[in-house]
Amino acid sequence: MPDTFDAVLIGAGHNTLACALQLARKGWRVGVFEQAAVAGGAVKTGEYTLPGFRHDWAAMNLSLFAGSPFCKENAEELGQHGVEFVPVSRPFASAFPDGRWCGVSIDADETRARIAGFAPEDAETWQRLSAAFANEAPHLFGLLGSAMRIRALAYFVFKILRAKGLGCTLDMARFLMQSPRQWLDQSFVSPEVKAMLGAWGMHLDFAPDVAGGALFPYLEGMAGQAFGMALGRGGADTIIRAMVAAIRARGGVVEVNAPVARILQDGRRASGIELVGGRRILASRAVIAGVAPRALPRLTGGITPEFDRAMTGFTHAPGTMMIHLAMDGLPDWAAGAELQSFAYVHLAPSLDQMARTYQQAQAGLLPDEPILVVGQPTSFDPSRAPEGKHVLWLQVRMVPGTIRGDAKGEIAATDWDAAAGPMAERALDILERYAPGTRAKILGRRVVTPRDLEADNPNLVGGDQVCGSHHLAQHFLFRPVRGHADGSTPLQNLHLTGAGVWPGAGTGAGPGTLLARRLAR
């Protein structure tokens, strides 16, 4: 007899695990089946270089999870199963080629003084924005946490109109449609302050001139000062291990090394899954696919031509390359040792360079000067490395999933196996310029290409760590496609979750939480 659950979930990423735990709390019997050897998807931690050095595979920043409705609702249970966060007082900074730097910390006076060193008027603007953030945050976070259905959206707009009035509501709508550069240019004068904030857009596929991206530099800047950042103690996988343990404690099942071959369906409703090898698992109430939208038609064999075309046409962002370094010490930043006390140091010196890098990657070219995000988690969590040692977490943004050439004309290879080494050296050359002597401190390294990311997790198509572009045509009511931003599909009992569904990428578990709420009703 096949195993039978109330809900069967495909994939053990943080969204499917959050959904499974929420349903288990409502009395559902849940089964989660993951193709990889460990749960977590892009949120996992391992000794990828040397023994004793724990590296976050992709996601490092857990601020969205720590502040999420899901975490707050389940805080006691997750705590019982070992989840633990490390508070970060200095979340991010940017270093510049002239030896200066600018950063944001939870000390408002410190941040304001640092910005004033670039432009006194920008420090005044920062103070004004910070003072207004407490009033603006509930509206913006309320939007990002709302179910993206017409009725729910209409109610949200009604509340905003009542609270802010028509003029201010229209201003908010305009802001949500602006590109990062538009908002930064109208708000600040210093190119360096603009670059410091604009670097956050690159985390979520919003190059400086992409409409709809202004929200993210604003939120990351304001939230970074107001709340700091949260890391997982011992690694980002603290949330994964806790959710898996909590699901199992409630009678649920989480299986790894269990790739799904197809979703069982009769043309009207989904009834379960079949694993590679032929084993069948039945679902009496829901089949929940935590997969990239493009994978759904392959698993179902087709639902409707229109829906299947929308899923296969889902657009992905450019790829990312990760470089994990085991270090004898932190980088000696040319701009000053104080940079060692920041969780992230962006090497993204100007909006123009970010725009050029993005366009090169979109064109299939290895960027001549990629943007680097240098994560220094052991500055706050020494448990991730042997005593006195450190790990560095390098994101190279952006790079193409499929290489068509090299913007610099130096790397002839067009396959990632051959291009990985020279592209990693290009990235390390950039780091070395900002922190001379860093190479001499490297004890071990692991280069993870876009191809490696997708091989490990098929949801990261072409190394796209955000599982799909968040540009306006594929966001809000249109993520992943109009009429299905709530994770529904035309097939009864089949639902989609993960970063490809509203509200999209990040560690906040919003897609899984919203789906669980809808199903539990």
* Among candidate residues 95, 16, 42, the one with its CA nearest the CA of residue 374: 95
Q: How confident is the model at residue 148 (pLDDT cuts 50, 70, 90)?
A: confident
pLDDT band at 27 (very low <50, low <70, confident <90, very high): very high
Tens-digit pLDDT profile for residues 410-451? 999 999 999 999 999 999 999 999 999 999 999 999 999 999
Omega cis (within 30) before 172: no
Q: What is the pLDDT of residues 173-208, one digit of tens each?
A: 999 999 999 999 999 999 999 999 999 999 999 999
**Domains of the chain with bracketed CATH:** 3-44+237-314+467-520 (3.50.50.60), 92-227 (no CATH), 318-456 (3.90.660)
| pLDDT at 149 (0 to 100) | 83
pLDDT at residue 481, as a whole number: 96
Predicted pLDDT at 107? 97
The pLDDT tens digits for 206-233 are 999 999 999 999 999 999 999 999 999 9
pLDDT over 90 at 327, yes or no: yes
The mean predicted confidence, pLDDT, of the chain is 96
Share of the chain above pLDDT 70, in %: 100
pLDDT above 90 (res 156)? no
Q: Which residue is associated with the tokens 């448990």?
A: 383
Q: Which residue has the tokens 């802001």?
A: 175
pLDDT of 312 above 80: yes
Mean pLDDT for 50-74 is 97
> Residue 422: what pLDDT?
98
Question: Do 492 and 506 contact (CB within 8 A), yes or no?
Answer: no
Q: Residue 6 is inside which H or E element, if any?
A: strand 3-10
The reported pLDDT for the residue numbered 364 is: 98
Give the mean pLDDT of 289-310. 97
- Name the one residue in this structure whose structure tokens are 């809000």: 476
Q: What are phi and psi of 248, to 5 degrees?
A: -65, -35
Distances (CA, A) of 9 to 282, 468, 513: 11, 20, 14
Query: Per the structure block, which two tokens stand in for 137?
Result: 């945050």
pLDDT of residue 1: 59
What pTM does this model have?
Answer: 0.96
Bin 466: left if φ > 0, else alpha if -120 < ψ < 50, else beta: alpha
In order, the DSSP letters of 230-296 are: EEETT-TTHHHHHHHHHHHHTT-EEESS--EEEEEE-SSBEEEEEETTS-EEEEEEEEEE-S-GGGH
Identify the H or E element spanning 101.
strand 101-104
